[in-house]
Amino acid sequence: MTGFADVIDVTAMLTPPEVMHAALVMPHDWLVWDTLFQRVRDGINLLLGIADHLPGVAVPRLPDGSLADLIVKPLCGDWDRIRSNGDACRILARGMDGLAQNLAAVPISLAPHWTG
């Protein structure tokens, strides 16, 4: 806009945050338990798949995922999403700052053109 102060494009500032997948540092004992748990679960699911071949039998499978996905995240929260939410708050703060700058710039730019 000629003759007007620079208006910040707030919509360009508001980008969705990236959801990262942080590696969980676990003790060796936990890794052993996790490996055993996944092997046992996969074996049970294999047996349940065989049972599904019987007429009229539909058995649900045990859920996929590691012990961290099935036990830790439901109890303490999904830390990857929590981090993304924190990033979203910072992105929103930048957008609100741009909006505040626009609110200050537009009336100043319109003042010379205002008549009546």
What's the pLDDT tens digit per position in 100-111?
888 888 777 777
Structural domains in the chain (count) = 2
The band of 113, judged by pLDDT with boundaries at 50, 70 and 90, is confident
- Tell me, what's the pLDDT at 103? 85
Work out the average pLDDT over 76-90. Answer: 89
Residue 9 counted as domain residue: no
Looking at the fold, whether 77 and 60 belong to one and the same domain comes out as no
Q: For residue 22, is pLDDT > 80? A: no
Give the lowest-confidence range in 16-20, 65-69, 88-92, 104-108. Answer: 104-108
Domain span at residue 43 reads 26-64
Of 59, 7, 68, the closest CA to residue 38 belongs to: 68
Those residues whose C-beta lies under 8 Å from the C-beta of residue 61, and which sit 6 or more positions away, are 45, 48, 49
Looking at the fold, whether 71 and 99 belong to one and the same domain comes out as yes
